[in-house]
Amino acid sequence: MNDKSPPVGQPTPSIDLGAVQSLRKLALFALGGLAVLILLTGHSLWPDSEDSPHEIIESVGVVLLFVAIAGRTWCSLYISGRKKSEIVALGPYSISRNPLYVFSFIGAAGAGAQFGSLVAAVAATLLTWLVFSVVVRKEERFLAERFGETYLIYKARVPRFWPNFRLWQNVDTLEIRPRMVMQTFIDACVFLAAIPLAEGIEMAQAAGWLPVLWLVP
C-alpha cells in the first residue's frame, strides 16, 4: 500500500506528516549543533580517569546507546511502512504509542553521558523530549483525522510515551519490511557518533587546543 495516500474510505488528514518529520529532524540537528558548541568549552566536573564518576557515566551511556539502537530497530519491525496506513497496536506499540521516541530519549541520554556529565545526559534527554512532544501532538492529530474513533480508542488506552507493560499484546507471526528495518537501524547508529565526538573534544581540551571555561557534574 502506498503510504502517501490514505486507504480507501479514509479521509485525507490536514497535516503533512512528512513535513512534520522533516521539521523534527531539523530541530534535533539544530539543538544538537548548539549543544556541541556549548560543550566545546565545558568539561565534566570529574577527572577523566579510571573508576571515576566520569568514566562510569560514559560507560553507562554506551550501554544506553546500544539499547536505543536495538530498541528502535525492534520497534521498526512492527511499524515500518505501516504508520500512515493502519493503527499498529502490537508489540512495543501495545504498551506505548511512541516507543520509537522513548528509545530516542534513551539514546539522547546515552549521547549526553559520553561527556562524562549527568547534567549533559539529562539536558540532552529533556531537549529531545521537548522536540518530540511538539511533534507527537501533530502526529496524534494526523492519526485522529485519518483513523477517527479507532485511533481515539487506542489513544485512550495506551500511554503516549512511558510504557504500561500490563497492556502487552503480540502476535505469532509478523510481516517485516527488511529494507525499512535496516534503514531504521542505520539511522539509529547515528547515536554512536557521540562517542568519537566527545572523545575528540576531551583530547582537544587536554592538548590545550580548546579552553575549559566551565565544569558541570
Find all residues with CB under 8 Å of 131, minimum gap 6, and list them. Answer: 24, 27, 28, 31
Q: How far apart are the first and last CA of the chain?
A: 50
Q: How far apart are CA 211 and CA 150, in angstroms?
A: 56
Helix axes 53-79, 178-188, angle to 10 degrees: 160
What is the model's pLDDT at position 14? 59
What the block records as the C-alpha cell of 206 is 587536554
- Tell me the pLDDT band of 2, cut-offs 50, 70 and 90: very low
- Tell me the pLDDT band of 17, cut-offs 50, 70 and 90: low
What is the model's pLDDT at position 94? 96
What is the model's pLDDT at position 26? 81
Calculate the CA 6 to chain-centre distance.
26
Say if residue 109's pLDDT is above 50. Answer: yes
What is the model's pLDDT at position 10? 56
Of residues 40 and 110, the one with the higher pLDDT is 110
Mean pLDDT (the chain) is 87
Say if residue 63's pLDDT is above 60. Answer: yes
Say if residue 177's pLDDT is above 70. Answer: yes
Average pLDDT of the segment spanning 187-198: 94
Percent of the chain residues topping a pLDDT of 90: 57
Per residue in 130-146, pLDDT (tens digit) is 989 988 998 899 899 88
Say if residue 173's pLDDT is above 50. Answer: yes
What is the model's pLDDT at position 103? 97
Measuring CA to CA, how many Å separate 20 from each of 15, 155, 212? Answer: 8, 20, 37
